[in-house]
Chain A
């Protein structure tokens, strides 16, 4: 009884504190503990959202991502380090293992400290490329802050990002107000490999931005590392196991100084923004969204109940999730989906233009149908699709493979057998008009047989008659 109570209490505690959908243990890797004051507001924000932070230096002996083979933390925040490497406890392999074990990593880069080569190789492995010269930073002569970077133009001002595609949910637009400005001070731009669907940029550089090395390219840039929107300022990677990895190009974005700094934009492309006013940056809210996404506070999907049943002629069968169906059966499939939003589950609705799809597949899909909303509960949406099973017998899967940028992956497979028609399930022969002559043939034979038996039993012989030709007839 007592252990039950303690379990209940423990459960209640975790409900109160665990705001992220995947745990609250957060490791902050910070080289100089004195630098902690620079990020005090950011760290306070995290703690107020229920994260239990452990701040460690990469040089500390006891720092370990794994304990007895299990993840010791749910999330890791890597703040820029001055030293060249991150030490033996944070090697690229360990960080990758951490991602593979489902942990989330938020990595910050800073142009004033060259990125450790361990991190460069980790990023390379994920197809995120950093400038080859370690000191490179992003400048924009058209979108800089005139108050803090009138000379160097290295504080790039970017509006809140638009949705990546019309059919992708935008988690980073804030309240959706116009004119919100994000300051990206002295950051490192990244370029992304084009082949990986796992990589998604959150924030891209403006058209006129470019990356240059302040030590080498003093006079002008002839061959920039990357320019314009090809430069990603904040990049995300969501692994197949839905672990999240985010690279923020400018660690200064998280600093208190930039949370409530006032900025004033320069004259932009084609003379826009010439009469710009001083505004407060939206860094605090934006960084909260980026961090919240990385640490599984938003954009996490959960599958509830999955149900499929026979639904012939609109009559729902009492048997749910049978193991076997017949070809051409009418079947209904239901799936319950929820989305995590900061601290609670809400019904999930895909953005307009997107749709959750159900596949009925054996090796390749035979059906791929949109799932429609059947009903909504307080915490979930129930999607449904009704269809006729294909006229092919075999082992099939009901498969919902919902993978979208910024949403955690859903891959649900329910296997069923689809059998062919049994011998007594075909249409009867009298329904088939082609069979009528044959049925009539049987009838004629039966009549003839019965008549023959009667004649054989009871016919009286007729006397013989002779024809004129002398032949005998009966």
Chain B
């Protein structure tokens, strides 16, 4: 056998000048069948042609087994090729699975597979798989490679497809943009304004009530006449303290506020005791 194989090419090389090596690989009596589980009869059976693919895609259901039997030939004579592969190609991704045919000495080859023999990636292909048969061997015989049929894999609709997790490959990752928390919101301005007005309205109400009850400032000239410095300083320091509080709210720091408040407080204390004694003297005089 081995001798023959080495002899043929040398003969061919000798004859190459005369005519191109015309010997080629092919197959005969190729039968494709799909057998369902349990029932003995084939669900589908057809003959394969060496020059044209089957018109309709072959359907392979979850429990089915696909079987191909053929006889490989070299120049019309049955012979065992070194390479007898059935390639199934996913037309979306170009991924390919290979099923070697077990070929006997006589050239009779056989391959059978079911869905569980297919890689996971091919099960989820959207298009039918393209089946190509390769028959080739050493030497100068022309190798055979033709598209012989399409295979439509129908996974079991009841069972979930086996999960395929993509392995880690270095590449661009998805962009992430931080989602900021929403800014704090206030209620409608109209409501705030209504309550502002309601609050501010209390001031005239208060003053009006006091006036109605007879409040007045009639002793102002008398008090200022009796203790002019202490009265003006005391009332001035009360106003100044409010001013300091306002500045503290607006932009002063605590350490700017405290000394100022201390000075004004001392003035209020000293002048207040004088001013209040004057108020007391008026009360003792029965004028209050």
Contact = CB atoms under 8 A, between A and B. Distances in A.
Interface in A375-403: 388, 390-391, 403
Interface in B210-252: 210, 213-220, 223, 231, 234-235, 238-239, 242
A150 interface: yes
Nearest to A389: B178
Interface residues of A, number: 77
Nearest to A153: B138
Contact of A152 (B103, B138, B173, B220): B138
A454 B236 CA distance: 11
**Highest count of chain B CB atoms <10 Å: which of A139, A142, A168, A221:** A221
Contacts of B203: 444, 447-448
A354 B288 CA distance: 91
Contacts of A152: 138
Contact of A436 (B142, B196, B210, B279): B196
Interface residues of B, number: 77
Contacts of A435: 186
A223 B181 CA distance: 60
A153 B287 CA distance: 132
B128 interface: no
A443 B167 contact: no
A150 B213 CA distance: 126
Given A207-B96, A460-B287, A354 B217 contact: no
Interface stretch (B32-40, B56-64, B81-89, B152-160): B81-89
A447 B145 CA distance: 102
B214 A474 contact: yes
Contacts of A34: none
Given A150-B9, A404-B170, A458-B223, A220 B177 contact: no
Given A141-B138, A433-B186, A444-B203, A390 B178 contact: yes
B81 to A, nearest CB: 7
A72 to B, nearest CB: 31
Contacts of A372: none
Contacts of A220: 80-84, 103
Interface stretch (A18-26, A41-49, A62-70, A361-369): A361-369
Given A224-B100, A228-B87, A458 B218 contact: yes
Contacts of B1: 219
Interface string A252-273: 0000000000000001011000
A365 B83 CA distance: 52
B70 interface: no
B270 to A, nearest CB: 16
Given A267-B143, A367-B176, A457-B235, A434 B84 contact: no
B223 A474 contact: no
A141 B234 CA distance: 113
B124 interface: no
Interface string B162-206: 000001111111111110110000110100110110111011001
A229 interface: yes
Contacts of B171: 165, 167-168, 354, 404
Nearest to A448: B206
Nearest to B286: A461
Contacts of B279: 456-457
Interface in B66-95: 80-85, 87
Given A440-B196, A458-B219, A141 B143 contact: yes
B136 A141 contact: yes
Nearest to B8: A151
Interface in A317-369: 328, 353-355, 357, 359-360, 365-369
B49 interface: no
Nearest to B282: A460
A403 B167 CA distance: 15
A5 interface: no
Contact of B170 (A367, A368, A405, A461): A405
A462 interface: yes
Interface in A162-208: 165, 167-168, 194-195, 197, 207-208
6 contacts: A141-B134, A197-B167, A208-B134, A267-B143, A432-B186, A456-B279
Interface of A: 139, 141-142, 150-153, 165, 167-168, 194-195, 197, 207-208, 210, 212, 217-224, 227-229, 267, 269-270, 328, 353-355, 357, 359-360, 365-370, 388, 390-391, 403-405, 432-437, 440-441, 443-444, 446-451, 453-462, 474
Interface of B: 1-2, 6, 9, 13, 80-85, 87, 96, 98, 100, 102-103, 105, 132, 134, 136-140, 142-143, 145-146, 167-178, 180-181, 186-187, 189, 192-193, 195-196, 198-200, 202-203, 206-207, 210, 213-220, 223, 231, 234-235, 238-239, 242, 275, 279, 287-288
Given A218-B2, A390-B180, 12 more contacts: A141-B83, A142-B134, A150-B9, A150-B140, A208-B83, A433-B189, A447-B203, A449-B242, A450-B238, A455-B215, A458-B217, A459-B218
